[in-house]
Amino acid sequence: MATVELTKDNFNDTLTENDFVLIDFWASWCGPCKQFAPVYEKAAEENPDLVFAKVDTEDQQELAASFDIQSIPTLMVVRDKTVIYAQPGALPKDSLDDLIKQARELDMEEVRQEIAKQEADGSAS
């Protein structure tokens, strides 16, 4: 499956309608972004059951700002409408493959319980 271009108009629908979305925040002038693009495209081809999306931070400044994107490329992984990974930097293919494998294996019920616990601890202090 080819990558999907995300905009503020289709962002929420894409995350709501899909259980597993990888998002590459990038810009055309960014050297590391250009290096990461073929790695990301290859992973999209190898994982057709997942949604691979891209956000052009130049065209979608509002979207990038809403996620406080400070440096690019930034890769974000969203499962069940929950951000489970968000880190800047171009990953080599092996690292991206490993990240996808780990994200697939996550027990999302455990993740939700941990988030709820952290939120409860935060509001108690």
* Residues carrying an active site annotation: 30, 33
- CB count in 10 Å sphere of residue 59: 14
Q: Phi and psi at residue 86, in whole multiples of 5°?
A: -155, 105
- 77 forms beta bridges with 22, 85
**Spatial contact of 67 and 86, defined as CB atoms under 8 Å apart:** yes
